[in-house]
Amino acid sequence: MKIFIESLDRGIWDAIVNDPFVPKNVIDGFVVDKPWSEWSTDESRKAQFDCTTKNIITSALNLDEFSRVSQCSSAKEMWDIL
């Protein structure tokens, strides 16, 4: 599975290893999530990797495995459970 995912895009595998990419802003010294409407094209592409990875993982699972990960919020969380 790792080889297949990496062959599609190295960034997709990165979403599994490092959690999903969420663009951030620094406001008054605090790091906060950047509103979706302010994301750059590159930030949107990086954030999409997690969605793509979750789709790949769930497509390869049987019903029992899918039930174990269907409530996960990230591809990394799915991968760790499996």
Q: pLDDT, tens digit, for every residue of 11-62?
A: 999 999 999 999 999 999 999 999 999 999 999 999 999 999 999 999 999 9
Whole-number Cα distances in Å, 54 to 13, 23, 27, 29, 62: 11, 19, 31, 33, 14
Which range of residues forms the domain containing residue 77? 2-81
Residues 56 and 12 sit within 8 Å (Cβ to Cβ): yes
Residues 74 and 50 sit within 8 Å (Cβ to Cβ): yes
Q: How many domains does the chain have?
A: 1
Per-residue model confidence (pLDDT) at position 51:
93
Per-residue model confidence (pLDDT) at position 41:
96
Residues 57 and 78 sit within 8 Å (Cβ to Cβ): yes
pTM of the model: 0.82
Using CA atoms, how far apart are residues 7 and 78, in angstroms rounded to an integer?
Answer: 20
**What are the strands, taking DSSP E only, across 1-82?**
24-27, 30-33
Using CA atoms, how far apart are residues 23 and 29, in angstroms rounded to an integer?
Answer: 16
